[in-house]
Structure 1
Amino acid sequence: MKLDMHAVLVQPLLTEKLTSIRETTNTVGFIVHPDANRVQIKQAVETLLKVKVARVNVMNVLGKVKRLGRFSGKRSDWKKAFVTLQKGEKLEMYESA
């Protein structure tokens, strides 16, 4: 499926765990489009953020089942990507956060 590069990256993922991973292994996290693959994610990060990517790991996260009284619902599933940058590369948007 052909996706627009701006549609591939939904938003950056900022958690305490990813902050420690970013500082030690130069890896950043993104919430990505559910239909995006590794190649599309790599191309989107390299062109939009102007950094060199060493590797991309992708994980599908299943939504939790939640209840409110007798009613049951499910949060939506989503996909996250861990992007490892090459040596010497860093993203400026994470430096100020």
Structure 2
Amino acid sequence: MANIQYYDVILKPVITEKSMTDMASKKYTFLVHTDANKTMIKEAVEKMFEGTKVASVNTMNNNGKKKRANRKDQGYTAKTKKAIVQLTADSKEIEIFEGL
């Protein structure tokens, strides 16, 4: 496994209708590095966003979709990993989602 620093773990937030409704219950969804595990994701969120305390982390792996360029050439898109982070009740909210 590669040496992944905490700032390399979280790639970008996932902004969908479902993830926006989950923010009311302090659940935030992120695209994360495919080699990151739950403890690495928890550390990254707590270090990158001051005042946050993570209660739990759920992850899901998404395999790449099959794509074709023409009749002969076919391949797959890159696989991704998503993490849904649940914050504790006394935790601060994450600032990047406040203006949305």
When the two structures are superposed, what TM-score results if normalisation uses the length of structure 2?
0.87
Give the Cα–Cα distance (whole angstroms) in 2 for the partners of residues 45 and 93 of structure 1. Answer: 12
Q: CA deviation at 1:67?
A: 2.3
Counterpart Cα distance in 2 of 1:91 and 1:54: 14
Corresponding residue of 1:96: 99
Q: How many pairs does the alignment contain? A: 96
Counterparts of residues 53-72 of structure 1 (less than 5 Å):
53-70=54-71, 71-72=73-74
AA of the residue aligned to 1:18: S
Which consecutive residues of structure 1, in runs of 5 or more, have no partner in the other structure?
Answer: none
SS, match of residue 6 in structure 1: helix
1:14-33 equivalence runs, <5 A: 14-23=15-24, 25-33=25-33
Give every structure 1 segment of 4 or more consecutive aligned residues whose post-TM-superposition deviation is greater than 6 Å.
Answer: none
Which structure 2 segments of 5+ residues have no match? none
Which amino acid in the other structure matches residue 94 of structure 2?
Answer: L
**Alpha-carbon deviations, 1:33-81, whole Å to 9, x = none?**
1111100100010011121111100110111112233132211101110
Letter in 2 for 1:12: P
The percent of aligned pairs where both chains have the same amino acid is 39
Letter in 1 for 2:41: I
